[in-house]
Structure formats: C-alpha cells, structure tokens
C-alpha cells in the first residue's frame, strides 16, 4: 500500500512540474517569440509612454475623438463584465435609450435608426476596443468639425483602419478606436502644429 502511495506521489509531482512548469514555460517562450506585442498586452506607446492597449477598449470623452462602444465595466479591465440584461429587462431599455440620446446629442444630424446597435449596447466584456465601420463613419462629421479637419480626410483615415473579415469570411469588419484616434491625432499634429 505504501509503495502505491509513493508511486502516486511521485507521478503527481512529475505532472505538476510538467503541466505547471514546463508547459507554461514553453507556451510563454513561444508567445514571446512569435507574438511579442500580443503576449505583452498589445500596449501602445507614444514617445516611450504607454497610452493604452489596442486590445482593450478605452473611454474617449472629448467630442474631438471617435467614441468607443459603451462599457458595462466603465472600461475597467479588472471589472470586465457584461450587464447580462435580457432583451425585455427595463434596465437594458433604459441603458440603450440613455446611450442613444447621448450619441445623437454628440452627433447632430444623425437619425436614431442610423445608429448601429453596437454604439448603444455595451459589449459582452465591457472592453471591446472596436466599432463597426458604419459607427465610425457616423461620427466622422463631428470629428471633422470639432478638429477643423476636412471630412474627406477623416473618411480616408477610417477607410485605412477598417479591418475586413478574417480569411474573408469570419467575423465582421471592424475599426480599432484607439488606432483610429491615434492616426487622427498624428494627422492633426502634422498639418496643424
């Protein structure tokens, strides 16, 4: 009996070392070698200073920037969560109406039926870094007007930042809001120093 317990204990230690130590080290090494940016959080730096992460949604509160999707977690990665409101929940209806009203107020001339659902409903994680191309184009007139940038330039920036479907068939086209706002910022600094 003692012999079997000793064998089981040795196997347990071996498998702990293999699964917790060796496997983790190999996966970490591969990630750092093959995908270093993603493995380190997809951090975005300007002049050596971290200003955000391209894979985590951020709040842009100034009308001169493109807005991200609403966040149930207030863009706090530690509190990442969806509201989990069902379609008939009065709290979801209130949230959508509030977000729609804010979007329409910030983007005059847009009709309610033009606003994509993703801009009035919070994302599942509360940290979605992307918006649909149509959501970006709806915000273009406001962003152009507030920044004194030609609308055609803003639309070109959006077009350059649209990511298509994965392998041409999976998922939906999207625009990363942080990268789009950084491209806009860069254009403004180059043309309006």
Q: Give how far the C-alpha of residue 13 lies from the chain's centroid of Cα atoms, to the nearest Å.
A: 40
Residue that has been written with the tokens 């730096």 in this structure: 45
pLDDT, one tens digit per residue, over 77-101 is 655 656 667 778 787 788 888 888 8
**How much is the pLDDT for 158?**
96
pLDDT tier for residue 128 given thresholds of 50, 70 and 90: confident
Give the best-scoring range by mean pLDDT among 16-25, 49-58, 155-164: 155-164
Q: Look at strands 49-53 and 43-46 and give their pairing.
A: antiparallel
pLDDT on residue 185: 93
Residue 38: per-residue pLDDT: 76
Please state, in angstroms and rounded to a whole number, the distance separating the CA atoms of residues 106 and 61.
11
Q: CA-to-CA distance for 105 and 116, rounded, in angstroms?
A: 15
Mean pLDDT rounded to a whole number for the chain:
84
Three-state secondary structure call for residue 63: coil
**Highest-confidence range of 28-32, 109-113, 172-176, by mean pLDDT?**
172-176
What is the sign of the dihedral through the CA atoms of 70, 76, 80 and 85? Answer: negative
pLDDT at 61 over 80: yes
Once rounded to an integer, what is the mean pLDDT over residues 101-119? 86
Domain-wise residue ranges, the chain? 1-40, 41-191
Residue 4's pLDDT band, with cuts at 50, 70 and 90, is: confident
* Alpha-carbon gap, residue 130 to 174, rounded angstroms: 6
Question: Per-residue pLDDT for 181 more than 90?
Answer: yes
Residue 140 has pLDDT above 90, yes or no: yes
The H-or-E segment that residue 51 falls in is strand 49-53
Does residue 115 have a pLDDT over 60?
yes
User: What pTM does this model have?
Assistant: 0.75
Instruction: For residue 177, name the pLDDT band (cuts at 50, 70, 90).
Output: very high
């Amino acid at each position: 009996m003692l012999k079997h317990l000793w064998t089981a204990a040795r196997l347990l230690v071996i498998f702990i070392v293999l699964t917790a130590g060796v496997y983790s080290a190999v996966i970490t090494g591969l990630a750092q070698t093959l995908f270093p940016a993603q493995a380190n959080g997809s951090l975005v730096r300007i002049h050596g200073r971290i200003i955000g992460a391209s894979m985590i949604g951020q709040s842009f509160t100034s009308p001169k920037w493109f807005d991200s999707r609403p966040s149930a977690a207030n863009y706090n990665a530690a509190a990442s969560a969806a509201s989990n409101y069902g379609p008939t929940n009065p709290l979801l209806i209130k949230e959508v109406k509030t977000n729609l009203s804010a979007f329409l107020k910030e983007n005059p001339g847009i009709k309610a039926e033009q606003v994509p659902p993703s801009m009035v409903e919070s994302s599942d994680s509360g940290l979605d870094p992307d918006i649909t191309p149509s959501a970006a184009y709806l915000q273009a007139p406001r962003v152009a007007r507030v920044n004194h940038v030609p609308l055609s330039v803003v639309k070109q920036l959006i077009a350059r930042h649209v990511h298509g479907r994965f392998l041409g068939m999976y998922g939906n086209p999207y625009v990363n809001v942080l990268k789009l706002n950084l491209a806009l910022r860069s254009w403004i600094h180059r043309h309006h120093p």
